[in-house]
Amino acid sequence: MKKIYKILFILTRGLSFFSLPYLRQVRTLAYSKYFNAKNLYVGESVVIVPSHYHKKSYIKIGENVSIGSFTLIDYSGSLIIGNNTTISEGVKIYTHTHKLDNLDIRKSKIIRNKLEIGDYVWIGANAIILPSVSKIGKGAVIGAGSVVTKDVGNYEIVAGNPAKKISQRERSGE
């Protein structure tokens, strides 16, 4: 059965055809089963892929996760997304970069970085998470359009380019 979900996952990722109302449900089911994630919502034209495959690369998606339309998630360096997390439209998450010691970038060494996104995180529209980030803490908020270049602490609100702490969240509703 896992092979069927993998085939559905491969066929449905990023294709606008699967944004039609009933086919959107097929895509969301395929993603949910393939990633073993409960109550996963996946918007249209979402791409979840290891850009540079590595046998140790993995992704784990928690429960009640929402991934907005036109989002790109690269898990070449591995990725964990916590429970009750919202990734808004157009977000880009990268977990790899290239060493810059070779003029031909295609021949340069790939550097992978594991990223852990905590529970109750909200990543605003069009934010970019760069591979230098290892952790986005529980309850953190990333402002829309922000470029995150370093770790974000629990309950921090960050915004800007590069993203900087602008506030701290209150801890309610846990």
Catalytic residue numbers read 98
Handedness of CA 105, 110, 53, 95 (dihedral sign): negative
Report the alpha-carbon distance of residue 159 to residue 127 in Å, rounded: 9
Does residue 46 contact residue 9 with C-beta atoms inside 8 Å? no
Give CA separation, 34 vs 31, 63, 118, 120, 151, in Å. Answer: 5, 14, 21, 22, 28
